[in-house]
Chains A and B, each alone.
Chain A
Amino acid sequence: MKKNKYYNLCVKAITGDIAPEEKVRLNRWLEESKENQNYYDEIVATWQQTELHDFPFIFDLDQEWSQLKQQLRLESEPARTKLSQHRFGEILDKYAEIFRPRLRPAFVTCLALLIFFAFFFIFKNQSMKSEYLEIFTGNKQHIGYVFSDGSHVKLNSGSLIKFIKPFSDSLRRVFLSGEAFFEVVHDKRPFEVVTRLAKTTVLGTEFNVWTRGDQTRIIVKRGRVRLSSLQTESDNVELSNGQMSWIKKNSSPSLPKNVDTDYILGWLEGRLIFEKTPLQEIIAELTRIYDVSIEVKNSELNEQTITATFDNLSIETVLASICLTLGIDYKTEANVYVLQK
């Protein structure tokens, strides 16, 4: 508990919210031991790690503003717009003077054609441009996305995909962190899902990729999939309908195992399924699904495993049944669910 108090003090010192007397107290604590100093350094490191480099910024607010003004029916046109319209009129008049009246229609036609081609090229180029996209889900969020080839992905909470849109001519590649279900449209180009550890290659199929920590799991609902380790690409297995395989850090893919895919892909219907899952992993999943804070007081509980299915239940019901299974209790402390013996 004492450590916790200093933890918050360290954070305050970094954000500049520390009071002078608190600073004295913190410094005294830091001088007490090397361990305390390391502790502080770690918090500083976290602060530095969370720096974001490319925040978006809207430079030209005029368009946004005029839209809002219209919505709210505020009058008074900004002076600048009036001026530019006026100037444009002036310029047109000037040019009109140069041409004799009978040439004017030809001039207008040329101008129209020029504008048409300009737009044509601008839009043509835009549609050809490829973009680097990333889509990610927060807690409690599911997102569906249709790729340029018509393939479909559904992202579970706290997950992320990155890809180039449109896909290249030779390969359809998506990077994944978290969990997602793919329905891949058949195409000459292989469809690759790359995680930190593994690469899954398919041509056209429905399959699920789960990757958290040092593990990646693949479940094939329909079709054929090749799973290979990123460390040793030659190390691969082929999976077909209803099979599952997984890769752990520094190991080859496990032999395909037959599973009940509808059961195991319960997240698509809002079901939570755990099979001999360590409590630590369950807590991480519940945090993402329900967007809550859960703390486990006794660290030895983390390794305990649970097998259970929760079909669209409230977080309280889920926690209550977990506690019942493990013979422990939970209570709520300042919006945090605390599990303890």
Chain B
Amino acid sequence: MKKFSSPSDEQLVESIKSSQIEAFTTLYYRYYNNLYRLFWLRTNSKEKAKDLIQDVFTRIWENRQKLDSKKSIKAYLYRIANNLVIDSFRKKSSQEIYFADRFSANDISTEKSLETDTAVKLAINNLPEKIRIVFILSRYHGFKYAEIAQTLKISIKTVASRMGQAFHLLREELS
């Protein structure tokens, strides 16, 4: 059997730039669930999350010539993702009524975890936009401050201060 070693992000970007579908597939499978996690938390909707992921990868593919393998593709993916979420909220006026999707019973492991998760999700959703994304990336995506700074194009100092504010607000909300 042929030994398989997974290509690095940089190698993938190089191959995607030369329109190799195989590499694009690998990138898709590699980052799908990470982005799903982000979109799901931010939109409260699985269908919306799936749609937005397709949008992210559509943009990557359509702009593949402009990709830079020296820059982190992960940061780029998350940046597009965050912009798409903000855009989708902006398009919708707060007065607009629409049908929310729901979380089905299959998502719920136990009653107890449901209770605590609900409170946490609500608290996170109540954080101001700019603070929320910083917190989500750090807490649920394991991003280092430097990665968050790179992704959102803000300074590390700003990341630190927003994280401080996030903890402050969450503690008030959850205590």
Contact = CB atoms under 8 A, between A and B. Distances in A.
B140 A52 contact: yes
Contacts of B168: 7
Interface residues of B, number: 70
A234 interface: no
B109 to A, nearest CB: 5
Main secondary structure of the interface of A (DSSP, over half): mixed
Interface of B is mostly: helix
B76 interface: no
A64 B97 contact: no
B54 A54 contact: no
A154 interface: yes
Interface stretch (A28-36, A129-137, A198-206, A258-266): A129-137
A289 B126 CA distance: 10
Contacts of B108: 54, 132
Interface in B41-84: 42, 44, 46, 50, 53-54, 57-58, 61-62
22 contacts: A7-B167, A8-B164, A17-B145, A42-B171, A51-B120, A54-B113, A54-B114, A55-B37, A55-B140, A57-B36, A132-B104, A132-B105, A133-B102, A135-B44, A139-B129, A140-B89, A141-B92, A142-B95, A142-B97, A158-B122, A270-B94, A334-B158
Nearest 10 CB-CB pairings of A with B: A144-B97, A53-B113, A8-B164, A133-B102, A138-B125, A17-B145, A135-B100, A46-B171, A293-B128, A131-B105
Interface of B: 21, 24-25, 28-29, 32-33, 36-37, 40, 42, 44, 46, 50, 53-54, 57-58, 61-62, 89, 92, 94-100, 102-105, 107-110, 113-114, 116-118, 120-126, 128-131, 138-140, 144-145, 158, 160-161, 163-165, 167-171, 174
